[in-house]
Chains A and B, each alone.
Chain A
Amino acid sequence: MADVKQQVERPLSPHLQIYRPQMTAISSILTRITGNGLIVGVILAVWWLLAAASGPDYFNYVDAIATGWFGDVVFTLSLLAIWYHYLAGLRHLYFDAGKGLEVQTAELLGWVCVIGSVVLTVITIYLV
Chain B
Amino acid sequence: MRYLTDRKRATGRGASGTGTEHHWHMTVSAVGLAIMVPTFLYLFGSALGGGYPEVHAAFADPFTAILTAMVLVVGLNHFRRGAQMMIEDYARGMNRKLLVIFVITFSYFLMACGLFALAKIAL
Residue of B34, B48, B83, B121 near A86 (CB, 8 A) is B34
Report if A50 contacts B (CB, 8 A): yes
Return A34 CB to nearest CB of chain B, in Å. 10
Shortest Cβ distance from residue B49 to the other chain A in the assembled complex, whole angstroms: 6
Query: B59 — which chain A residues lie within 8 A by C-beta?
Result: 49, 52
Cβ of B15 < 8 Å from any Cβ of A?
Answer: no
Q: Which of B34, B42, B86 lies in contact with A36, CB distance below 8 A?
A: B86
- In the complex, the answer to whether A52 meets B30 with C-beta atoms within 8 Å is no
CA A39 to CA B107, docked complex, whole Å = 9
In the bound complex, do residue A86 and residue B37 qualify as a contact, i.e. CB atoms below 8 Å apart? yes
A119 CB within 8 Å of chain B:
no
Is B98 at the interface (CB under 8 A from chain A)?
no
- The residue in chain A whose Cβ has the minimal distance to the Cβ of B122 is A53
Q: Is the CB of A75 within 8 A of B48?
A: yes
CB of B25 within 8 Å of the partner chain? no
Chain B contact residues, majority secondary structure: helix
Residues of the A chain whose Cβ atoms lie less than 8 Å from the Cβ of B31: 93
Are B79's CB and A46's CB within 8 A? Answer: no
At the interface, yes or no: A32 with Cβ under 8 Å from chain B? yes
By the criterion CB–CB under 8 Å, are B110 and A43 in contact? yes
Residues of B contacting A75 in the complex (Cβ-Cβ under 8 angstroms): 48
| Identity of the chain B residue whose Cβ is nearest the Cβ of A35 in the assembled complex | B82
What CA separation (Å) do A124 and B116 show in the bound complex?
Answer: 28
Known A38-B79, A59-B52; contact A128-B46, beta-carbon cutoff 8 A: yes
Known: A39-B83, A52-B52, A92-B30. A124 touches B41 (CB 8 A): yes
Sort A-B residue pairs by CB-CB distance and give the 9 closest, nearest first: A128-B45, A53-B117, A53-B120, A49-B117, A50-B117, A56-B52, A46-B114, A89-B30, A52-B55
